[in-house]
Structure 1
């Protein structure tokens, strides 16, 4: 599990391509190295990856075909930078919201509005059916960052970013057309799905009564 509070950024040093598979090496910040072992989980742009090799600050991770397909990690090149977070411990402060590191889809940056002290970024989901889980003032994970949803339309949503978030993460460098990883808040998803099931069962029961009345 992760908290959605990005602990730093890491430059991608190299990428080794294999059939339907990729290994990339990043330079992890010194602060994230203590206690790091092979098999540990580190989120890259919110996607949970497993450490496969450690050589000083150079840490290797394997990416499967499905990860490359669903997330924006398949777009990165050597020299690019990713947001990183070590897996949370039970004693850690949860400053954001609990996140699994399982990316559901990506979103395209479609509008950026900048003012003196903050930035508003609008996104369009690759899978529009997931918009039902994007709620005003709800939680969402964007490239591993726990954020509060701002305005929401039928097809788009935005978040507001303070200078600290812009400085500590990669969102400060995002440009129009670029993709970000999206993790939906699981509690929001559970509530929405439950309400849908309850309403569907009620509608089904009502229809059954109507049909019975017609037959009578």
Structure 2
């Protein structure tokens, strides 16, 4: 379980084929792995992975073909958002996050908000239509592992478009500041919304 509060930005240093998936080596800041043990979970770009080896400031993991098919940004080298698994005595600064990516969205707009004294940016994402029922005004969404608040939703026949405002701190401390129009992003809907939808579905039968 995670919170969507990024604890470090790391770098995927290498990717090597392993079975039908990949073996990744991820470099992290000094001291980041001090309290991490073999088999612990670390979310990478919002996807929960298991640490299988440590060497210096790097950890290794194996990612299956299924995970690669359901996510984006885990099959190549480059910067990634990291979050270690939640401990029972940790602050819940974001919201409850499972680390299971529900779909891949597309950035359709990303620019600084005009005349905003705080320097906020507007991020607009086109989410899969299948996620529309879980996305609501002032609800939570995870984008590449970051817990964010939905400021607006708009449904179309093929997608659900969500607007999100990002403050400068979020842009500086995560990989979201590197996004560009057209980029694909990993999305996870609110865990509670998913269970509510399931309960309503079963009651309707």
Q: Same fold (TM over 0.5)?
A: yes
Contact 1:67 1:73 in 2 (8 A): no
Number of the residue aligned with 2:138: 137
The DSSP-based 3-state class of the residue aligned with 2:196 is helix
Number of the residue aligned with 2:96: 98
Mapping of residues 181-196 of structure 1, within 5 Å: 181-196=186-201
Query: Please, which runs of 5 or more residues in structure 2 have no aligned partner?
Result: none
Q: Distance in 1 between matches of 2:67 and 2:182?
A: 20
Mapping of residues 9-48 of structure 1, within 5 Å: 9-48=9-48
Deviation digits for residues 119-152 of structure 1 (CA, Å, limit 9, x no counterpart): 1111112x31211111000011111111111110
Q: 2:151 matched to 1:150?
A: yes
Q: Distance in 1 between matches of 2:3 and 2:125?
A: 22
Q: TM-score under structure 2 normalisation? A: 0.91
Specify the structure having the higher radius of gyration (Cα): 1
Q: Post-superposition shift, 1:157?
A: 0.6
Q: Distance in 2 between matches of 1:54 and 1:19?
A: 21
Q: Which segment is superposed worse, 14-23 or 82-91? A: 14-23
Number of the residue aligned with 2:61: 61
Q: Distance in 1 between matches of 2:175 and 2:31?
A: 18
Q: TM-score under structure 1 normalisation? A: 0.86
Q: Post-superposition shift, 1:16?
A: 0.4
Q: Give the superposed CA RMSD.
A: 1.4
Number of the residue aligned with 2:76: 77
Displacement over 6 Å in runs of 4+: none
Number of the residue aligned with 1:166: 171
Deviation digits for residues 32-91 of structure 1 (CA, Å, limit 9, x no counterpart): 2112221111000110000111001011111001110001134x422x100001111111
The DSSP-based 3-state class of the residue aligned with 2:163 is strand
Deviation digits for residues 140-184 of structure 1 (CA, Å, limit 9, x no counterpart): 111111111111000211111000000000110101111111111
Q: Post-superposition shift, 1:29?
A: 1.6
Distance 1:174 1:184, change over 3 A: same
Number of the residue aligned with 1:87: 85
Query: Please, which runs of 5 or more residues in structure 1 have no aligned partner?
Result: 202-216
